[in-house]
């Protein structure tokens, strides 16, 4: 995923099953869509044919800190 992110977007860290990114606010909607699509449509060659029918559901939240996270719609 990180090689597909536009300039100005940084992948900060991962925590359990979460990926934390930092980006300018004006980039939020298009980059969030890219991240969601990439996570939900992992090519089967990465996991193997056994997982090509597994539905990956991605929930996204946005905020300046953990306390203030709100669902991204």
Q: What is the pLDDT of residue 39?
A: 86
Distance CA 72, CA 49 (A): 31
Residues of the chain under the 50 pLDDT cut: none
| Distance (Å, whole) CA 57 – CA 33 | 13
pLDDT of residue 66: 87
Q: Whole-number mean pLDDT of the chain?
A: 87
Q: Tell me, what's the pLDDT at 4?
A: 84
Give dist(CA 58, CA 34) in Å, integer: 12
Which pLDDT belongs to residue 2? 72
Q: Report how far residue 34's alpha carbon sits from residue 2's, in angstroms, rounded to the nearest whole number.
A: 11
């Amino acid at each position: 995923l990180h090689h597909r992110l536009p300039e100005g977007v940084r992948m900060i860290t991962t925590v359990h099953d979460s990926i934390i990114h930092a980006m300018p606010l004006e980039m939020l909607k298009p980059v969030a869509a890219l991240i969601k699509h990439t996570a939900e449509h992992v090519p089967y060659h990465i996991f193997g044919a056994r997982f090509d029918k597994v539905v990956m559901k991605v929930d996204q939240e946005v905020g300046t800190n953990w306390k203030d996270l709100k669902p991204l719609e």
